[in-house]
Structure 1
Amino acid sequence: MSKILARLTVKLTRVTHAYGGHRGRETLHFTFEGGQPRRARAARSFVAPQDVPIFEGDEAWFEVEQVASRPWSYWRAVRRVDPPNA
């Protein structure tokens, strides 16, 4: 069982790389604002493509959790959720 360090609701943004002209693109990773301690240099956190359920489009809201691991912790998307109320 993995130890969960944090849980957040965030908007994930797909970061892609185009290849072969207009024939295709691959997802490199997903990003979201926050998720880092205040003392960290980065304002954005990253999620690997294999740790996000498949969805259409370039942005979607997800519940994410930070998982304790060695040599470092990582984020994974647990489930897609509705956007929080504005």
Structure 2
Amino acid sequence: MPPPPRRGRLAAPAGQPPRVWRKSIEKLTRKREHTGDLSSRTLYFTFPGARRASRSNVTFVSPEHVPEFDGEEAWFEMALTAGVPWSYWRAVRQVDPPATAGRDDEARR
């Protein structure tokens, strides 16, 4: 019989959706295997922002957690989902850009 899981590493009980820690609206950017080649496969998606202690200023999202969409960038409702052994971001649904999106992008440049 396997040992019981350590505290804090419990998966969601069968039949229940995983716990969502946080939600936000983010602009995902597609990163392809060959830059500029629209027929190449998607390696991952990114959106600005990460933990302060991290060495990267973007957060990475696996392609399996993002629904199909046209183009290289799109806005999504993102959910930080509890997982074992670590949490992960997933795109819940595609949304319209927030009203402040244009001003935020100009301020970052």
CA distance in 1, matches of 2:63, 2:72: 12
**CA offset digits 1:55-84 (Å, max 9, x no partner):** 010000000000111111100000000001
**Cα root mean square deviation, aligned:** 1.6
- 1:31 matches 2:46: yes
From 88, 99, 106, the counterpart of 1:74: 88
Whichever residue aligns with residue 53 of structure 1, its letter is P
| Count of residue correspondences | 82
Show structure 1 runs of 5+ residues with no match.
none
Q: CA deviation at 1:40?
A: 2.8
Q: Secondary structure at the match of 2:22?
A: strand
After TM superposition, the score normalised by the length of structure 2 is: 0.69
- 1:52 matches 2:66: yes
The aligned counterpart of 1:11 is 27
The aligned counterpart of 1:41 is 55
Structure (1/2) with the larger helix percentage: 2
After TM superposition, the score normalised by the length of structure 1 is: 0.86
CA distance in 2, matches of 1:62, 1:4: 15
Identity across matched positions, percent = 46
Q: CA deviation at 1:50?
A: 1.0
* Cα 1:55/1:41, change in 2 over 3 Å: same
